[in-house]
Chains A and B, each alone.
Chain A
Amino acid sequence: MKYKLHVNGKKRSVDVAPMKRLLDTLREELALTGTKEGCGEGECGACTVLVDGAPVNSCLVPTCQADGCDVQTVEGLARAGGKQAARLHRLQRAFLDNGAAQCGICTPGMLMAALALPRGASLEQIREGLAGNLCRCTGYMKIYDAVAQFLGGERA
């Protein structure tokens, strides 16, 4: 089946089985491997992307459900040529400055989940908002620091 997705501001069309996971469509059809798989059952949040602005576990979303939707992935954050630190999104910069990325496998999902949080979010709101994203390296403290710095809120 053919589906139209609006991925990181670009129109993309894919021809996949309706139930193909959005995660696999992004990684395999569109070569956007920044979005990671950690569990395949919606528990770890490593595959978090924004669909029409809302954070979802892309391992639980069939591609057909995202048809016609706006999809944002980690690759869309930095400006083009995004390998250079100068063009990083402010949230990415905050993750770097605060040591919020260690092994980095949860980082893309964590970034996308944090993007959906309101400006000035309290520490409690940050904890609540990231509760669906597991990190095994950091103990979360540095992630709170980074997200709070980005949102201009209270630090851990």
Chain B
Amino acid sequence: MSKKKRRGSRAGGGKRDSGKRDSRTRDTGKRDSGTRDSRTRDGNTRGELRTVGHNVVRAEGVEKVTGAARYIDDLRFDGMLFGATLRSTIAAGRIVGIDRDPAFDWSGFTFVDHRDIAAPGKNVVAMITEDQPFLAVDRVRHQAEPIALVAHADRARLADGLAHVTVRYEAEKPQLDFESAATVLKELAIRRGDVDAVFARAGVTVVEGTYRTGAQEQLYIECNGVIAMPGAANPDDGGVTVYGSMQCPYYVVRALRVLTGLDTDKVRVVQTTTGGGFGGKEEYPSILAGHAVLLARKSGRPVKMVYERHEDLVATTKRHPSIIRHRTALAKDGTILAIDIDLRLDGGAYVTLSPVVLSRAAIHATGPYRADAVRIRGRVVMTNTPPNGAFRGFGAPQSQFAAEVHMDRIAGQLALDPIELRKKNLFRTGDVTATGQQLKDSVAAHDVLDRALARHALVTRDRSSAKPAKKGDAIVQPHNGAARGTGVALFFHGSGFTGGGEVKLASRAGIALTRDGVRLLVGSTEIGQGTRTMHAQIVAESLEIPYECVETADPDTAKVPDSGPTVASRTCMVVGKILQRAAARLRAELGEYDDEKSFKKRARWLLAERGTVEIIEEYEKPGDIVWNDETYEGDAYGAYAWGCNIADVEIDPITYQERCTQFTTANDIGKAIHPILAEGQIEGGTLQGIGWALYEEVVMRDGKMQNASLTNYIIPTTLDTPPIAVEIVEHPYGNGPFGAKGVGECPIDGPAAAIVNAIRAATGKRLDAVPATAERIMKLITGGEART
């Protein structure tokens, strides 16, 4: 296709945009003002943004719609073996022996257990704490813990091999309940003002509540999978290469270095097209890659390990279950005076990323509300269940579920309108958060509320069938039609790593000049969210060249620098900004050009002059961010995204099956670099939140997931999905590229609370937990008795 034609298709994208306003209203007036602000700040010389803010063609879109994109299970290498994992069948105990059946024909099999890991390698998954082995040595701490590995050229023979290995255990009593668990993996406290003094004051109203959330599976449709092969640069260099489905190739490099004792240049990791992550491919691929590497090094052959769904569900990480207690002191008019929160997360059997999940949960635990006195105490405890880990939102969905259901409880107890109560306490510019951060820039809490309310009024007027009942009015009337209710939730989400995290990461990203444009050198991964497209737009706009002139290097650690992990809503705001700075430097080196043709002329001149032109920039902390990791005080995040959800639900009076009939969400993301991709993030995150609220339940028995299949771990289908009306709000952030903040995680922080608040409005009864399954609603309404 000619260049000319492609540019035409971009213009078409712009046209489509205007057509879209009817079905997915976006306030274009607002967006334009955001554009003006960001243009001034970014020093763009021309009159309008040509690429940023437009719906360009997705970078890897054609491969994905034609089936040409190669995911890990689509790859094969000569001589490749398939690997499988022998897992613990008890939740806790000592391993007495691992016996291979001597009568079984082991020829053609490769067998690995912990004895195959030798110095200088270490049998430890390098993460925060070195407590988790790749393969269990003398004890297991959870069901499905990996103990040994087998590989064979014939995938069908793997089960046979596994069946001929016996593990002898001395079982111990497992700690399965996290409420009573005594082993604390991490504890922290956030303190501001004198909370006890406020609670002791005469005349304050105290409202208390306890809230619970369950585990949730990320449920990327592509299961975890990798292929390991001997050799980094070439097959005989003693190194190792791993291809795989993952979010963070450099996390895998680090884990493999520790496992093998190899130097960094001998460990190469290549991300293949990845079929969803949502946090589930943040830390787990390190373990799986380690297993495949052990088999590949022992057999001298490429080894593919791709989990089947059942194994992926029983063995990999989930969202941390939580119990959160709130105690709030209020003035009569509803002003929040003090907030006291105690939160407890179930970490599972190993530390993994739990301390960081706890930290994010705690920092967001007040919700977007101000109080002069705040105390947040958090702990994550150990249980003998598979380790919980990263999942979109990273603790904030749990803690803000509690905060927002608690706000409705406060409204009920003080007989205040829930919206007015929120408006009175919502953060405004200049307010101070629990960690003592003064919010100076891009505070949109009130705006997202107003925009969501206005949009919701519009959509519900249009859909008379989903007309909500007046708040609190509807009570379930047996055999008399569905009970209906509307609930609201407000939330915020810090973009990027917490506190000094970005400084420690020191992420790098850059740009290489080519004869026809530029190539992005970035370690951030495309996992469906649109990284490649969005980064290319930022660089194209900064260089004032067509989007089509920007390509992206393969996500191969031999080719791209460490841009930090693709997590924490940081890929646009933080890594995008690094790329924008690299573009500015490249522009300065190129000198004057005024169109694509003269740009290419300058590019070729510079290449002829220097051979190669590569500009790598490193993260630079904005000067006004101050954080103290010891006291947990200061600017926890450079910027926050803001959101407001309004949910309409109805409950069947006979079956108690609840259904979300309409969902409205307003999300401030600073600037939508690509409006359709940004909406896609918001719609997708929202639906995962709705799934967590209504359907998704991980049923554990004896420390093992019992519903480990898609037949009975239910994620929303099209028929479960309500219409989702999205309002994109753009309050630009000065240190983000073109004003952009994080978008990926914020949308999942609100839906569960909005839905539970709507259930309360529909039934008059308060459910303080998710998932709100039909069984739980029935119990709530009937007190546990099935009605006859």
Point out residues on A near B: beta carbons under 8 Å.
27, 32-41, 43-44, 46, 73-75, 77-78, 82-86, 88, 92, 95-99, 101-108, 111, 126-128, 130-142, 144-145, 155-156
Give the contacting residue for A105; candidates B16, B55, B275; CB below 8 A. B275
> Does B273 touch A at the CB level, under 8 Å?
yes
A-B contact pairs, 29 of them (CB 8 A): A27-B74, A34-B66, A34-B68, A37-B73, A77-B66, A85-B9, A86-B5, A96-B61, A98-B676, A101-B65, A102-B680, A103-B222, A104-B275, A105-B71, A105-B222, A108-B67, A132-B717, A136-B276, A136-B278, A136-B688, A137-B528, A137-B529, A137-B684, A139-B684, A139-B721, A140-B687, A140-B721, A141-B723, A155-B23
Q: Which residues of A contact B723 (CB under 8 A)?
A: 141, 156
The answer to whether B275 and A36 touch across the interface, beta carbons within 8 angstroms, is: yes
7 further A-B contacts with Cβ under 8 Å, apart from A82-B66, A103-B222, A139-B684, are A99-B55, A102-B529, A104-B63, A106-B221, A138-B683, A139-B683, A145-B23
Number of A-B pairs, beta carbon distance below 8 Å: 179
> Does B458 touch A at the CB level, under 8 Å?
no
Q: Helix, strand, loop or mixed for chain A's interface?
A: loop
The answer to whether A137 and B680 touch across the interface, beta carbons within 8 angstroms, is: yes
The answer to whether A136 and B62 touch across the interface, beta carbons within 8 angstroms, is: no
The answer to whether B65 and A44 touch across the interface, beta carbons within 8 angstroms, is: no
Given known A-B contacts A83-B62, A134-B710, A137-B684, A103 and B276 have beta carbons under 8 A apart: yes
What is the bound-complex CA distance between A103 and B67, given in angstroms?
A: 12
Q: Which residues of A contact B276 (CB under 8 A)?
A: 102-103, 105, 136-137
The answer to whether B528 and A102 touch across the interface, beta carbons within 8 angstroms, is: yes
The answer to whether A39 and B719 touch across the interface, beta carbons within 8 angstroms, is: no
Residues 45-66 of B, flagged 1 when their CB comes within 8 A of A and 0 if not, give 0000000000101101111111
Residue ID in chain B nearest A112 by CB atoms: B67
Q: Which residues of B contact A138 (CB under 8 A)?
A: 680, 683-684
> Does B788 touch A at the CB level, under 8 Å?
no
The answer to whether A86 and B1 touch across the interface, beta carbons within 8 angstroms, is: yes
Q: Which residues of B contact A103 (CB under 8 A)?
A: 220-222, 274-277, 527-528
The 9 closest A-B pairs by CB, nearest first: A34-B67, A103-B528, A105-B275, A104-B64, A139-B683, A43-B710, A74-B67, A139-B687, A102-B528
Give the contacting residue for B717; candidates A74, A84, A111, A134; CB below 8 A. A134
For the complex formed, measure the closest distance between the CB of B544 and the CB atoms of chain A, giving whole angstroms: 24
Q: Which residues of B contact A78 (CB under 8 A)?
A: 66
> Does B709 touch A at the CB level, under 8 Å?
yes
The answer to whether A136 and B221 touch across the interface, beta carbons within 8 angstroms, is: yes
Q: Which residues of A contact B58 (CB under 8 A)?
A: 96, 99, 101
What is the bound-complex CA distance between A151 and B65, given in angstroms?
A: 17
The answer to whether A35 and B676 touch across the interface, beta carbons within 8 angstroms, is: no
For the complex formed, measure the closest distance between the CB of A101 and the CB atoms of chain B, giving whole angstroms: 5
What is the bound-complex CA distance between A141 and B24, given in angstroms?
A: 10
Q: Which residues of A contact B679 (CB under 8 A)?
A: 99, 141-142
What is the bound-complex CA distance between A131 and B721, given in angstroms?
A: 10
What is the bound-complex CA distance between A37 and B61, given in angstroms?
A: 20
What is the bound-complex CA distance between A141 and B220, given in angstroms?
A: 18
Q: Which residues of B contact A92 (CB under 8 A)?
A: 65-66
What is the bound-complex CA distance between A9 and B723, given in angstroms?
A: 38
For the complex formed, measure the closest distance between the CB of B652 and the CB atoms of chain A, giving whole angstroms: 19
For the complex formed, measure the closest distance between the CB of A129 and the CB atoms of chain B, giving whole angstroms: 8
The answer to whether A105 and B67 touch across the interface, beta carbons within 8 angstroms, is: no
> Does B309 touch A at the CB level, under 8 Å?
yes
B243-288 interface (Cβ within 8 A of A): 273-278
The answer to whether A131 and B724 touch across the interface, beta carbons within 8 angstroms, is: no
For the complex formed, measure the closest distance between the CB of B588 and the CB atoms of chain A, giving whole angstroms: 34
The answer to whether B221 and A44 touch across the interface, beta carbons within 8 angstroms, is: yes
